[in-house]
């Protein structure tokens, strides 16, 4: 099976090809047709199955498809007069929010769809400004999203597709009431997609209360959980940042992983009193390592420019999974 057989539009197929993928994973092959058909979906899928593309690709297609008799795709205008989001993806952590938003940007690069990331731990106002400029897709953690709802900086009345990604983790973190509150803020006539690695009691409760006759699919992870080895390394406190960076370089150069994504705090890594004086210096250091993506998030200690602009992902390879460095680093800003 190829992506062409799933009924995706040429602009999405082009973006998929740019990313170096040819064959859909099992969860993509089963989920994409269900989502395109407008059905609610309850998917048992772990991290590593390709589930994110399983919902971002069909969402991009559905939002970009004109309604019957219309010449072009609609633009939703909310109660506040701004362009309102039509799809909402709820996730448990800001790191996952950044990954999902990057997937939307990657596969939606040839579409006009805009995505905004909303999560706690960073400034509220830059996110509010991004929402005021208008967006089509919002990727959010529950707590910060409800902050925006209470401050009326987001309008969920035009949501057509609601996604609960890693729903079991959100339940483990005590977000059931927040999920319920968000779901009630969205229109009843919507499509709801739920992805979960396990099926605790709360998943059935969500399905019964907020989904309509969902189709159910279950797939196994491409990488068996028993074969995934997790490690942590203790670094001496002396010159802690430098020692930590040396440890990262040592581990990566020793294991030479095929695919690597690294997260760094901009407030610690970049600045006048930090290890790197600029983002360019940090990226130059990272390009010497077997790294594909370097994702950096702002904190209160970040330089003002990054605090305003939010996450930044630096694409360090040619985008096709090859070892050759990209001739120019591509930056993806996630407001």
Any idea what the CATH number is for the domain that residue 64 is in? 3.40.50.300
Query: Same domain, yes or no, for 53 and 161?
Result: yes
* 68 phi/psi in degrees, rounded to 5: -55, 125
- Give the pLDDT of residue 164: 96
User: Domain range spanning residue 314?
Assistant: 229-334
- Give the pLDDT of residue 158: 93
pTM listed for this prediction: 0.69
The structural domain count of the chain equals 2
| Within a domain: 224 | no
| Secondary structure class of 131 (helix, strand, coil) | helix
Exposure pattern of 118-151 as b/e (b: 16+ CB <10 Å)?
bbeebbeeebbebbeebbbbbbbbbebbbbbeee
Mean pLDDT, consecutive 10-residue stretches, the chain (335 aa), reads 90 92 90 95 82 94 78 67 90 90 93 92 89 94 94 94 94 92 94 89 88 88 59 70 80 76 73 74 78 65 46 51 44 49
- Give the pLDDT of residue 305: 44
- Give the pLDDT of residue 95: 86
| Within a domain: 182 | yes
Query: Same domain, yes or no, for 70 and 177?
Result: yes
Query: Same domain, yes or no, for 77 and 182?
Result: yes
Query: Same domain, yes or no, for 55 and 97?
Result: yes
| Within a domain: 93 | yes
Query: Same domain, yes or no, for 213 and 293?
Result: no
- Give the pLDDT of residue 238: 57
- Give the pLDDT of residue 330: 53
């Amino acid at each position: 099976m190829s992506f062409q057989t799933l009924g995706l539009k040429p602009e999405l197929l082009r973006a998929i090809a740019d990313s170096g993928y040819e064959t859909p994973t099992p969860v993509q092959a089963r989920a994409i047709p269900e989502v395109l058909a407008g059905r609610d979906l309850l998917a048992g899928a772990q991290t590593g199955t390709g589930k994110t593309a399983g919902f971002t690709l069909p969402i991009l297609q559905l939002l970009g498809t004109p309604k019957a008799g219309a010449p072009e795709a609609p633009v939703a205008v909310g109660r506040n007069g701004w362009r309102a989001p039509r799809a909402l993806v709820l996730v448990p952590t800001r790191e996952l929010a950044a990954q999902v938003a990057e997937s939307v940007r990657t596969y939606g690069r040839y579409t006009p769809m805009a995505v905004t990331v909303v999560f706690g731990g960073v400034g509220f106002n830059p996110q509010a400004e991004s929402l005021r400029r208008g967006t089509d897709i919002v990727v959010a953690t529950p707590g910060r999203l409800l902050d925006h709802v209470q401050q009326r900086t987001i309008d969920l009345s035009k949501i057509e597709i609601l996604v609960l990604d890693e729903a079991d983790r959100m339940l483990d973190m005590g977000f059931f009431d927040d999920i319920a509150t968000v779901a009630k803020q969205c229109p009843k006539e919507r499509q709801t997609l739920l992805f979960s690695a396990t099926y605790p009691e709360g998943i059935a409760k969500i399905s019964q209360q907020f989904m309509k006759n969902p189709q159910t699919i279950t797939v196994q992870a491409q990488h068996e959980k028993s074969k995934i080895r997790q490690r942590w390394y203790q670094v001496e406190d002396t010159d802690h940042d430098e020692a930590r960076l040396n440890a990262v370089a040592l581990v990566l150069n020793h294991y030479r992983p095929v695919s690597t994504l690294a997260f760094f705090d901009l407030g610690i890594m970049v600045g006048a009193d930090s290890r790197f004086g600029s983002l360019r210096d940090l990226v130059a250091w990272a390009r010497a390592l077997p790294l594909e993506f370097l994702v950096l998030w702002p904190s209160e200690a970040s330089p003002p420019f990054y605090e305003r602009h939010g996450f930044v992902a630096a694409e360090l390879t040619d985008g096709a999974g090859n070892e050759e460095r990209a001739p120019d680093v591509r930056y993806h800003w996630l407001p």
